[in-house]
Structures are given as structure tokens and as C-alpha cells.
Amino acid sequence: MFVKQLTVFIENRSGRLSEVLGVLKDNNVSILSLSLADTTEYGLLRLIVDNATLGREKLTENGFSSLLTEVSIIKIPHKVGSLQKILETIDKNGGNIEYMYGLSIESDMAYVVLKTSDIQKLDRILEENNIHTISCEDLANV
């Protein structure tokens, strides 16, 4: 299973992140997870939201450059070595992780967003190895 991730390109200047989040708030788009990476000139904001299509539409209307990307959200036991074991499984089966970011919202479980160049292959690897994925709806209900 995979979900749509909203990626927004923003100038690295004071207040710009708040403007992006304001557009989402004003259009009742709820943020479930986010990651922000920066360079000297711009930021790359990756978001899992409850309505990625609406979020992108409203951001575009407000002059923000964005795109939708398919990613997987995996559910793993919140124990030492669990993530490494899953990444090793993906690697052994020919998967290649481009980037990832995590959430730790339950005491016994953690969630990690994974992006790969071949999302279908990753989905197959996860399913064949009984690695559980969740939807945006599932994440919103945690």
C-alpha cells in the first residue's frame, strides 16, 4: 500500500513555512507528518496530509510549487534494531531507499515514511515479507 506525499518547494526566508502551513490550515488540510530539509536558498517540505490532492491544489492557487509523490508508510515495533532489520530485508530484495523520515507516536510502535524509485517493487517486498504498511486514514486514527 502506498500513499500520496505532498512536497512543497519554498524559499528559505522568514515566514515562508508559516505561509505554506496557513494555506493548508485555511483549507482544512490536516498535517499527519512532515519533514523539512533546507539548503541555503530553498527548503523542501515533505508532508503526509489527510487530503494531498486538495492541499496541492490550494498551494498551487497560492503560488507555491509542489508535487505529489507515492510513498509507503511502514509500521514497525518500537524496539532496538527493528528498522535496520526491515531495511536489510528491502536491500536483500533489490529495493533502494531514496529517503525516509519517521514518526514515533505510540509507545510500542513507530512509523517510517519510505520513498523509493520503484514504489511497486517496494510494495511487493513489504507485502512478501509481512512488513505492515498503513494508509493516511490509519495514521490519522493513531
pLDDT tens readout for residues 111-126:
778 888 888 998 899 8
With cut-offs at 50, 70 and 90, classify the pLDDT of residue 105. low
Other CB atoms within 10 A of residue 80 CB: 7
Fold of 71-140: VC0802-like (3.30.2130)
pLDDT score of 68: 97
**Residue 61 cell numbers, joined:** 492557487
pLDDT tens readout for residues 50-103:
999 999 999 999 999 999 999 999 988 888 999 999 999 999 999 999 999 987
Domain segments of the chain: what residues? Answer: 3-70, 71-140
Q: Are 13 and 120 in contact (CB under 8 A)?
A: no
pTM for the structure as a whole:
0.81
Other CB atoms within 10 A of residue 41 CB: 8
Fold of 3-70: VC0802-like (3.30.2130)
What is the chain's Cα-based Rg? 16
**Residue 94 cell numbers, joined:** 533489490
